[in-house]
Amino acid sequence: MPSCPPGASDVPAKPGNPSLAAAPLIGDWLDFTHEGIVRARTGKSELGQGIATALVQIVADALAVDVDSVELAPPDTSGPDETFTAGSLSVQHSGGALHAASTQARQLFTDAARRRLGAEPSLAEGRFVVDDASVSYADLAAEVDLAVAIDPTIASYDPSGIVGADLPRLDLADKVLGRPRYVQDMRLPGMRFARMVRRPARGARLVDVDEESALGIAGVTDVVRDGDLLAVVAEDEIAARAGAEALRESAQWQVPDSSLSDGDMVEQLTTADTDDTALSDGPSIDAPTLAARYTRPFLAHASIGPACAVAVQEEGLLRIWSHTQGVHPLRRDIARALDRPVDRVQVTHVEGAGCYGHNPADDVAYDAALLAARLPGRPVQVTWTREDELGWSPFGPAMVVDLAAETNADGQVTAWSWDGFGNGHSSRPGTLPTPSLLAYEEQQDGTPIPPAGDPPQAAGAGTGRNAIPGYEVGSVRAVAHRALTMPIRSSAMRSLGAHLNVFAIESHLDDLARHHGIDPVEYRLRHLGDPRGRVVLERAAQESGWGSPLAEGHGRGIGYARYKGTGAWCAAVVEVEAVSSVRVVRAWLAADCGRIVNPDGAVNQLEGGAVQSLSWTLLERVRFAGGRVLSDTWEEYPILHFSEVPPVEVALVERPDEPWLGAGEASMGPTAAAVGNAVADALGVRVRDLPITAEAIVAAMDS
C-alpha cells in the first residue's frame, strides 16, 4: 500500500518549482495591457501571513516599477494552479515563479523598447527612456508576446531595493479600520443567510425533524434536509439563527455507541493497524543510553473567525467565494462531490480569519455550494458557529513518538531511533479517494471522509516531518506508523509533525547532555555540522544571555531545528518561572530564512508562530468522547491570553545572497522544545506529554 493516496501532499513532489510546471508561461502570471498597472496573478492565498504584500514586492522589484502600480488578483480557478498555500513554500514557489516571469518580461520589454526608441533604454518609474523619448510597459504590451515559457534560471537584474524593505501590509489598514474585506462581510444582492445544523455526534443519523418549526419563523425561507444533512436558509442571520435553533430542538437523532475518547489515544495509536514508512533504515538500538516516549493530543486550529463562504448557482456556473488555502483543489473536490464538470465550478479566494492549516474553510465552501445549487440564482452565505468551528473542524493529529539514542563515553550520539505513531496529517480536498468535505459524509449518497494520508517524504512528510535530527547522530532509524483508523478527522496544522518531533528530539538531546554533564548549547554544537544552523543556534543563545544566572524558580531552555530539513533554520530560547504551573517569562528567536522579502513580515510570522506554539504546548488539548468533541467552546479549549504572552525578541540572520525560505512554520517546533527544556531546567522534571499543564508536571514528577 502506498504511504498516501495519489496526490496526498501538502505540496506536489515535482522537481524544481511546481508552480511553473502548472503555469509555465509569462502570460499565465502577468498582464501589462493597462496603463500604469501591472496585473499579477497567484494561486497562493492571503491568510494574514502577508504573502500578497511579499509577492507584490517581488514583482515590483523585478520590473523596477512602483509597488502601487502592481495589482495582485486574489487566487481564482481561472488563474495558476498552485495547489495549496501550505508548507511555508509560497515565497519559494509563487514568489519564485513571479520573480522569474517578471525578470524575463522586463528583458522582453527592454528589447521592444530598444526597437521602438532606437537605442538602449534606461528604466525609471516603469518607463523605458532614451533621451527625451519614453515608453511604458503598457505602450509596448501589444508587441510583446508573453506566451513564452518562463526560464526559472534567468539571471536577476540588480535589485531595486523593494525586496528587503519593510513595506507595510497592503491588507492590514482595512482590517484595522473595520472596512469590509472578509468573506464574512460579502453582501450580494438578494443574498440569503444559511446555518447548518450539524449532527450531535460522529455517525449520528437524522431520524426525524419538524421542518415547520423553522419554516414558521419570519424570515426563514427554506429548510434543506438530505440524509443526515440539515440546514436552514433565511433572509438574514437573525432568522437563520432562530431557524437553526428550532431545528436543533426538534431534530431526533440516532447516535451510535462510540467508546473512543481522547483519554486512550496513546493506546489507540500504538495498537491500531498502520501503514508503515521507513524514512531512514538504520539499525534498531539494543541498549540505548536513553529511550523515552513523547506525546501530544489532537489540536484545534481555533481560528478567531468561524468559517464562512458565499456561493451562487448562475446559469451553468456554480460560483464560490472562500477563504480556502487552495482554490483549485477545492474546486475539483466540490465538482466531484456534486458530480458536475470541473469547468462548471469557479472558486475565488476572499480573505477570512487566519486558518493555520486545513480548518473548516473548505467544508463551509461546500456547505454554501450545495445549498446554492438547490436555490438557482440566489447567493447564499453560510457561517459556522463557534461550537462547530471547534467541534467539527479537521484537527491537527495526536502523535506518539518513541525515541532511543545511544551515546559513547564522550557523550557523542552514535545511533538514533525514531518511531512515530499517529493519524495522517493531510485530508485536504482532492487528496483522498472520495471527497473530503464534511457535508458530503452527511448527505444521503455521500461517504464518510477516509482516514488522512501523509505527504510524501520529498514534500516534507507528515508524521515524519523533522523526524530525522538535523544533527550528526550516527546511524538513524526512522519509521512512521500512520494509523488507518481515524477517531476524529485529522489534517494539516501548521508545521505538521514537526511540532512534536522537534519537541521530542530536543528534549532527548537535553537529557543526554545532562546525563553527560555537558551544557545543552555546547552539546548541540558538538553534533551540529551545518554552518547556518550553528550561526542560528549561537545567535539565539547569545541574545538570551545563555549561561547567565537566573532568579529562583526560573529555568531556561533551548530548541533548534531546520524546518523540514530543507527550509528555514530557527532556534528558540525560553525562560520560564515554574513552581506548580508554568509561566513563560520571555522568549528569544533567531532565524535564517535566506534572502528576506519583507523583514518585518518575517519577524511577525516567526513571533506569531512562537506565541501560537506556546499556546499549543502549554494549554491545548482537543477532548472528545462518544463521537463528540467536548472542547467546543473557548472555556473548554483555552488558548493563550494577552496576560500570558511573554515578550518575544526575534533576530534575523541576514543572507541576502541565498534563496528565500518561508518563515511561517519554522518557530513552532523549536519554541515547544525550548519550553520543555526550560521546565526541566527549573524543576528537574522532564515532561514528555503535551500540553505541559500543572497536571502534566505532577504526573511527570510521580513517574
Partner 1 sequence: MPDAHRLTVNGRDHEVRCPDGTPLLWVLRDRLGLTGTRYGCGVGSCGACTVWVDGQPTHSCDTPIWSAAGKSVVTVEGLTEAGPHPVQRHLIDGQAGQCGYCLSGIVMRAAALVDQAHAEGRHVEGDEVRAALDGHLCRCGAHNRIVDAVVSAGGE
- Does position 173 bind ligand FES by CB under 6 A? no
The nearest distance, CB 619 to partner 1, in angstroms, is 12
Measured from the CB atom, is 238 or 304 closer to ligand FES?
304
Q: Please, what's the b/e burial string for 400-428 (b: 16 or more CB within 10 A of its CB; e: otherwise)?
A: bbbbbbbbeeebbbebbbbbbbbbbbbbb
What is each CA distance from 634 to 71, 387, 412, 541, in whole angstroms?
Answer: 38, 9, 45, 35
Determine the residue type at 523: Y
The nearest distance, CB 359 to ligand FES, in angstroms, is 13
- Does position 304 bind ligand FES by CB under 6 A? yes
Among 643, 657, 702, 703, binds partner 1 (CB under 8 A): 643
Given ligand FES, partner 1, none, residue 17, with its beta carbon under 5 to 8 Å by kind, binds none
Dist. CA 437–CA 201, nearest whole Å? 16
The secondary element (H helix, E strand) that includes residue 573 is: strand 569-578
> Three cell numbers at 482?
500512520
- Does position 647 bind partner 1 by CB under 8 A? yes
> Three cell numbers at 610?
512562537
Using CB under 6 A, count the residues that bind ligand FES. 3
Q: Which of residues 314-373 bind partner 1 (CB under 8 A)?
A: 351-354, 356
- Does position 172 bind partner 1 by CB under 8 A? yes
Dist. CA 701–CA 683, nearest whole Å? 9
Q: Which of residues 316-355 bind ligand FES (CB under 6 A)?
A: 354
- Does position 238 bind partner 1 by CB under 8 A? yes
Strand spans (E) along 297-398: 308-314, 317-322, 345-349, 380-383
- Does position 419 bind partner 1 by CB under 8 A? no
Residue nearest to ligand FES (CB): 304
- In sequence order, the β-bridge partners of residue 124 are 127
The nearest distance, CB 563 to partner 1, in angstroms, is 17
State the burial class of residue 341 (Cβ atoms within 10 Å of its Cβ: 0-12, 13-18, 19+).
exposed
Measured from the CB atom, is 241 or 374 closer to partner 1?
241
Q: Please, what's the b/e burial string for 496-526 (b: 16 or more CB within 10 A of its CB; e: otherwise)?
A: bbbbbbbbbbbbbbbbbbbeeebebbebbbe
- Does position 198 bind partner 1 by CB under 8 A? no
Dist. CA 690–CA 687, nearest whole Å? 8
- Does position 385 bind partner 1 by CB under 8 A? yes
Measured from the CB atom, is 166 or 276 closer to partner 1?
166
Among 612, 617, 631, 677, binds partner 1 (CB under 8 A): 612
The nearest distance, CB 304 to ligand FES, in angstroms, is 4
* Window of 144-152, 432-440, 495-503, 600-608 that interacts with partner 1 by CB under 8 A: 600-608
Rg (alpha carbons) of the chain, rounded to whole number: 26
Measured from the CB atom, is 580 or 643 closer to partner 1?
643
- Does position 360 bind ligand FES by CB under 6 A? no
Annotate each residue in 34-73 with x if it binds partner 1 (CB under 8 A) or - if it does not, as one string.
Answer: -------------xxxx-----------------------
- Residues 6 or more apart whose CB falls under 8 angstroms from that of 589 comprise 540, 570, 571, 572, 606, 607, 610, 648, 649, 650, 651, 667, 670, 671
- Does position 639 bind partner 1 by CB under 8 A? yes
Q: Whose CA is closest to 349, among 369, 324, 376?
A: 324
What is each CA distance from 42 to 87, 256, 269, 686, in whole angstroms?
Answer: 16, 45, 39, 46
Measured from the CB atom, is 445 or 642 closer to partner 1?
642
Spatial contact of 683 and 692, defined as CB atoms under 8 Å apart: no
Q: Which of residues 45-104 bind ligand FES (CB under 6 A)?
A: 48
Q: Which residues bind ligand FES (CB under 6 A)?
A: 48, 304, 354
Q: Which residues bind partner 1 (CB under 8 A)?
A: 47-50, 166, 168-169, 171-173, 175-182, 184-185, 187, 193, 218, 236-238, 241-242, 302-306, 351-354, 356, 383, 385-386, 600-601, 604-605, 607-612, 633-635, 639-643, 645, 647-648
